[in-house]
Chains A and B, each alone.
Chain A
Amino acid sequence: MPVMSTTPPAATTGTVPRLKIQGVGRDFVTRSGVTHAVSGVDIVIDRGEFLAVIGRSGCGKTTLLRMIGGLLAPTSGSIEVDGHNLWRGSQVDESAITKLGFVFQESNLFPWLSVLDNIALPMKLRGVGKAARRARAGELADLVGLGGFGRSYPRELSGGMRQRAAIARALSTEPELLLMDEPFGALDALTRERMNLELQRIVLETTSTVVFVTHDIPEAVFLADRVVHMTPRPGRIRQTLPVEFAKPRTVDLTTTPEFNEIVRRLRHDIDEED
């Protein structure tokens, strides 16, 4: 399998990409020596692009996303958001991190806040006034299909609904870049399928740029414009595959031979790793 270029099509040359990752690596020092969790990763992501990162557990995909999200400092390389360096040594640059929205595998909603207050939390931290917060949180609750549940506590929601609320919370500051770490990994297959459709709709409506980490190959192919396949020890990019189906995509796409050919190819490559 040839290693494909990780640079996007030539259309972007000249403009500043949304996200530019160059030679990024992360080492962890353990008792048995140094582990290269991520090594020499280069990715450039355009505005409005949906990038999925797949690979087995331990391939460094979550570590990579945490570095992009400002949660973990890289040991080498640079990450630029809209041309601003995200990391200065082990410190995050404030103007860069405020352009990001992070969705975790667990919804991580605060149990003492209502759904609306959870959605409004990032705005509260930024000093947005109460009335403006309320209004925007209400709009976002509608956008993610939680219109009637604004005053509920997270414990009163199903897993899928909690993840919707977490997505709304991440969107509340209108991030330039949405980072999602296996956001639907804990959901059942049927809910997951519905959430994928919902996410596609939300992303198209908000014209967000997304980096989406998953270990589910069909999910990655269904959602993404490009799929990055990472391999472990050290975690690096094995290949990048463009997915050129028109959007919005429907569930019917997943039964077409073209779709399944891409899924089959990726699965084959992942199986071939060892």
Chain B
Amino acid sequence: MSRRKVMRILPWVVTPALVVLIVAGWHLIVTVGQVNPFLFPPPGQVGEKFVGLITGGTVWSHTLITLSEILIGFGIAVVSGVIVGVVLGKFAWLESSLRPLIVISQVAPKVAFIPLFVIWFGFGLTSKIWLSALLAFFPIMLNMLLGVRSVEQGHREVMSSLNATRSQTLLQLEMRSVQPYLFAGMEVGIVLATTGAIVGEYISGSEGLGFLVVSSMNQLDAALTFALILWLSLMGLALYLIVNELKRFFIPWHESVYSLRNAAA
């Protein structure tokens, strides 16, 4: 077998093997180690709960709620992040005058805002959507800002030697050349949007997967908590893969996509 082929197959062998190893180790610790199953349930019990969860009805309606919070929040973050990032990237004087404010809001622990959002927007979906949007906004905006600044000077000269108009340069050059930066921001942003929605549900409200996690904790049902965390992780993975797939579709030419595709070919 060639080295390349081995590299291709490797993750498909190693990942399942590791999962099996971890689950087996987990099972061993719980059974042999005499750990209280109420605190640290064995994998079999978590698996049962998980199956019960997805075959039962309630988890789906809660999933739908959490998903819509994430997607609406993420959507707001993408639109506003792109607009603010492009404007700040284009007008250097604006960026330098707002920089202290940007840095402060960037380092501020944004989950601390939830109580405020609850006061402003109530216990419903809206407060979670805003937290989700706020968290996802920064990586998208900052990447766009960097992207607008990083348009290659040589490419700009090509456009001016061709006497391109401002709008042609915007559409044919700038909008294309920022795409890798946009997707880098979106990959981080979707994970943060998910975190935002769930943390929001932890704090307030009576629906969504975060709420289910908290109520399973209140019932001291650790196996259910584990099962819900597993479900949340799978949802997060699905969302990330969708963004990643969009990236592969829109910027197949970019290093981040191209090198992976060629390593796999």
Contacts and interface: CB of A to CB of B under 8 A. Distances in A.
Interface of A: 69-71, 92, 94, 97-98, 100, 102, 104, 106, 108, 110-112, 121-122, 124-125, 153, 155, 173
B152 interface: yes
Given A112-B176, A112-B251, A124-B172, A106 B161 contact: no
Nearest to A96: B163
Going nearest first, the 7 A-B pairs with the smallest beta carbon separation are A102-B161, A108-B154, A153-B253, A97-B163, A108-B158, A112-B253, A112-B176
B162 to A, nearest CB: 5
Nearest to B258: A155
A72 B258 CA distance: 36
A111 B163 contact: no
B161 A69 contact: yes
Interface of B: 152, 154-155, 157-158, 160-164, 168, 172-173, 176-177, 179, 251, 253-254, 258
Instruction: Name the prevailing secondary structure of the A interface residues.
Output: loop
Contact of B161 (A100, A111, A112): A100
Contacts of B163: 70, 92, 94, 97-98, 125
Instruction: Name the prevailing secondary structure of the B interface residues.
Output: helix
Contact of B168 (A92, A97, A125): A125
Contacts of B176: 110, 112
25 contacts: A70-B160, A70-B161, A70-B163, A71-B157, A71-B160, A100-B161, A102-B157, A102-B161, A104-B154, A104-B157, A104-B158, A106-B154, A108-B155, A108-B158, A110-B172, A111-B253, A112-B176, A112-B177, A112-B251, A112-B254, A122-B162, A124-B172, A125-B162, A125-B164, A173-B162
A115 to B, nearest CB: 12
A111 B254 CA distance: 8
B160 A108 contact: no
B265 to A, nearest CB: 12
